[in-house]
Amino acid sequence: MAALLSLAGSEWGMAGSDQYIQFRDGRVAGHSGCNRFTGSYRQEGDSLKLGPVAATKMACSPERMLQEQAWFRMLDQVSGFEATHLVLKLKAADGKVIATLQRRDFD
């Protein structure tokens, strides 16, 4: 399947989770598993930088809070990506895949 060159206008989520991220006009928004978040992103080729990101401050169960903390740690580490029409692999600076997301807004 062909590589997706731009994330603009797309929405991606973790399989089996309500965590997701949307890419719109240089901004990201989504749900971290407990809270909503918004912030900026910059994409140049397959390089991707997210943030800074701001989130609401609702309290959830301890399990959901741990899930949310892991989500934000992962977003902080993103420095690149690889994507097809249906799968987005977020990568750390060393090229290691740190998250695999599925397209939520596919046609």
Number of domains in the chain: 1
Is residue 4 included in any domain, yes or no? no
Amino acid 105: pLDDT: 84
pLDDT in tens, 78-89: 999 999 999 999
Is residue 5 included in any domain, yes or no? no
**3-state SS, residue 63:** helix
Is residue 3 included in any domain, yes or no? no
How far is 42 from 59, CA to CA, in rounded Å? 30
Is residue 1 included in any domain, yes or no? no
pLDDT in tens, 45-56: 999 999 999 999
- What average pLDDT does the segment 77-101 reach? 97
pLDDT in tens, 15-44: 989 999 999 989 999 999 999 999 999 999
Q: Are strands 87-91 and 97-103 parallel, antiparallel or unpaired?
A: antiparallel
Q: Quick one: pLDDT band at residue 100, thresholds 50, 70, 90?
A: very high
- Residues whose CB is less than 8 angstroms from the CB of residue 33 and which lie 6 or more positions away in sequence, other chains included: 17, 18, 19, 60, 64, 67, 68, 71
Amino acid 2: pLDDT: 73
Q: Quick one: pLDDT band at residue 101, thresholds 50, 70, 90?
A: very high
Is residue 51 included in any domain, yes or no? yes
Positive or negative, the CA dihedral 57, 63, 66, 68 is negative
What is the domain range of residue 51? Answer: 10-103
Q: Is the peptide bond before 62 cis (omega within 30 degrees of 0)?
A: no
Residue 54: CATH number of its domain: 2.40.128.270
- What average pLDDT does the segment 54-61 reach? 95
Is residue 17 included in any domain, yes or no? yes
Is residue 65 included in any domain, yes or no? yes
